[in-house]
Amino acid sequence: MQDQKFSLPIRVYYQDTDAGGVVYHATHLHFLERARYEWLRQLGYGVHELLNAHQLQFMIRSLEIEYFKPAILDDLLQITVDVVDLGRSRISLAQEILCDQNRLVNATVHAVCVSTESLKPVSIPAPLRKKIEISK
């Protein structure tokens, strides 16, 4: 069993901010998605492998997000991914955006594993499921 959540460092660049140097609210979604991709890659399942070798992808079913404090230009953020629940074709993740251990954003993300051909739910492949369970 893993002791820590997956965490990805991301630096805030000018392109991520509004005119006041504050990270634009929708940019947080990009940061969260990037961390989920890197989490899957760390498990050995990059996006290209999922698409090409397994003909599947994860699509977001729903997302809840709370903003507590702003991130600003040049901040070094930590974006976390933590598995909350795992079903046959769905996964629920808790994510945070932190800066200097201060919580800026909380998000709960519900994703569904779908066939790239039909876009209908399919089972998460057993080897990936095992790696996800171990990472919990």
Q: Which of 105, 127, 108, 123 is nearest to 58 (CA)?
A: 123
Which sequence positions are flagged as catalytic? 18
pLDDT by residue for the chain (136 residues), tens only, comes to: 445 689 999 999 999 999 999 999 999 999 999 999 999 999 999 999 999 999 999 999 999 999 999 999 999 999 999 999 999 999 999 999 999 999 999 999 999 999 999 999 999 999 999 999 988 7
Rounded to two decimals, what is the model's pTM?
0.93
CA distance 90 to 27: 25
Q: Structural domain of residue 24, as residue ranges?
A: 6-135
| 94 in a structural domain | yes
| 1 in a structural domain | no
The set of residues, in sequence order, having a beta carbon less than 8 Å from that of 8 and lying 6+ positions away, is: 34, 35, 38, 39, 78, 79, 80, 81
**Structural domain total, the chain:** 1
Question: Which CATH number belongs to the domain containing residue 126 in this structure?
Answer: 3.10.129.10
- Cβ-based burial of 77 (10 A; exposed 0-12, middle 13-18, buried ≥19): buried
| 66 in a structural domain | yes
